[in-house]
Amino acid sequence: MKNDKDKVLNTVLRMGAFVVLAVVLVLLFPRYNNSFRYHYEVGKPWGYATLTADFDFPIYKTDEQMAKEQEQLLSTFAPTFKYIPRVQREVKVVSLETMEWLQKEGYSRIAINQNKYPLSEIYTPMTARKKFGYDCALNLTLDTARTESLRDKLLATLSPTQGLVQKGEKIVEQGEILSERDYQRLQSLSRAYKDESRGKAERVLSIVGESLLVLLFLGLFVLYLYVFRRTYMQKTSTVLFFCLQIFIVIALACIILHLGWSVYLIPFAWVPILTRVFFDSRTALYLHFTTVLIASVIVPAPVEFFFIQIVVGMVAVSSLSDMTRRAQLVQTALWILLAQTLAYTAITFAQMGSITAVNPWMYLYFAICAIFTVGCYGLIYAFEKVFRFISSITLVELTDINSELLHTLAEKAPGTFQHSMQVSNLAAEAAKAIGANALLVRTGALYHDIGKIVDPLSYIENQNGVENMLLKMDPRDAAQVIMAHVTEGEKLARKNHLPEVVVNFITTHHGTSLVRYFYNTYCNAHPDEQVDDKQFRYPGPKPSTKEGAILMMADAIEARSRSLNEFTEEAISKAVNQMIDTQIADGQFSETPLSFKDVEDIRRVFTSRLIAMNHHRISYPTLNK
């Protein structure tokens, strides 16, 4: 009951992660309190149904129009000054700072006691001295309060609107290319929607609509996981990984839109690339579609955006089938750049039918985005550390036999090292045959016996004619020595910071099987004793993946093959079948998803590979003297 409750609780928490994500995204959306949710650009087709006015609203002038009209209106305005009569000749003198301000503001005259004087008749102390030959005191001061009052009254006469759109009037027709006039009318309608007098109902409905859309898109992705990738949904770390990817990309898009920059600067390709590196192509593409759909709610020209980003996702997944080299990421970024360029050019030609409609800045945005895409390599490393995932790049690096740990294994336990190499070849071939991760099982095979570094001479493959001291020990103690390589291997792996998935191969490659040689020896020596086989069983756990099961089989079969007296096809086939049947009967694969067909395919591969590895060579003839 407790386990069932824990499962339900974990499921609720994982579902809750998607709900929290939806709420956070909606709150991040720019202009989320605006119920006018259309996206449009001058020169682009109207991508929605024909729009008519639901109410009367004025057509507002653009900022450029208002600025120009204000400039024309103020060109006739004269700031008001107070005049202080002096004894000397009536010379109108202002300070140098005031004169500079008048010139900067573009005023050509000033007002004094209802009279207006051109600026050419106004002097500063310096210009007055040059003109009249004597010092003149300041006698004009700006009447700031009156000037601002008169200026505000003058500007108030300027109307911010030009015309009216009446209720029921058509604003723009579906598919129509937007002109400057259409854009101005749409902007005016948007402004009318923002008016507080329209109440909160529209804004609430806008938020509700956005929330439902985001929940729908996320819900479809969750449904995909439950139907096709249920194991992903059962891991909290995987769910958080998916949610974090969506959050990062959408948050960046919101920031970019808030700053007024192009959304095409955001590398949406991060999502399919990262997902493909750690999981599979189908999930990568589905998560990318989900992310792009959510982003389409907030971006301008959503149809164009969706079209281009879907192409990006398809190219990213197709060009990155199995990332094992850093250079592949650069190649993928270049393919994405080419795909974006072609997609944008094609859709612009299709919609506009004119080469002049192409925005050359878009190609710069695509190039910058490609550079950011290459930066995904750093995220791969970060996600590996945070979520304890493992990428193909890391696996390839771990298979380098010149690495410190494998070099130590080859030096101190050469027999074990050769055994591990043979096991890795066997296991990789079997993995390919049943569609398992061949690179992963190859890596695990290379490290599965590293615990033997601690006491290499206790294992027969490293003795090279040296007396086997285990044969002189009590079989129970000897079994403990043999089993110690699992726990010692785990310690070495963690000390050398090997990924958890590799550590799992070390701890599960014997499962809970018997150290059968010493178990049988002890039983034969004590026929009347009820032997407790726990003293002779590895601590486990049992393998839980196809790759773990393959390694367990390959390890046992490779070791068994070395004891064969003859290497005929019949002898090898018999040894393979006996070993696998023994492991199955012992329940070692009960927790793995292996099918009967998988097991038969593995038998076939092991048999053919062992025959090839132990093929017969002809004897070379000697020279007759």
Phi, psi of 619 (to 5 degrees): -80, 140
DSSP 123: B
Rounded CA separation 449/546 (Å): 19
Phi, psi of 114 (to 5 degrees): 70, -5
Tokens 């929940």, residue?
215
CA angle, corner 565, sides to 562 and 566, nearest 5?
100
Q: Could you read off the pLDDT of 515-528 as tens digits, one per residue?
A: 888 888 888 888 88
Would the pLDDT of 143 be above 60?
yes
Using CA atoms, how far residue 535 sits from 107, 483, 491, 588, in Å, is 102, 10, 22, 17
Half-sphere exposure of 336 (CA within 13 A, CB side): 34
Would the pLDDT of 326 be above 80?
no
Would the pLDDT of 277 be above 90?
no
Q: Are 91 and 128 in contact (CB under 8 A)?
A: yes
Q: Are 491 and 456 in contact (CB under 8 A)?
A: no
H helical segments located in 261-320? 270-278, 281-296, 302-318
Using CA atoms, how far residue 360 sits from 312, 345, 356, 363, in Å, is 19, 10, 10, 6
Rounded CA separation 414/416 (Å): 5
Chain center to CA of 115: 70
CA-based nearest residue to 167, from 306, 268, 52 = 52
| Mean pLDDT, rounded, for 2-6 | 59
Residue of higher predicted confidence among 222 and 131: 222
Give residue 6's pLDDT band: very low, low, confident or very high (50, 70, 90). Answer: low
Would the pLDDT of 33 be above 60?
no
For CATH 1.10.3210, list the domain ranges present in the chain.
Answer: 392-613
Would the pLDDT of 4 be above 50?
yes
Would the pLDDT of 198 be above 60?
no
Q: Are 476 and 522 in contact (CB under 8 A)?
A: yes
CATH number of 392-613: 1.10.3210
CA angle, corner 306, sides to 303 and 309, nearest 5?
150
Rounded CA separation 113/83 (Å): 8
Would the pTM of this model clear 0.75, i.e. be above it?
Answer: no
CA-based nearest residue to 107, from 76, 152, 150 = 76
Helix (H, G, I), strand (E, B) or coil at 31: coil
What are 393's two structure tokens?
A: 């790049």
Per-residue exposure over 245-263, b if at least 16 CB sit within 10 Å of its own CB, e if not? bbbbbbebbbebbeeeebb
> What pLDDT, on the 0 to 100 scale, is given for residue 553?
95
Rounded CA separation 432/609 (Å): 13
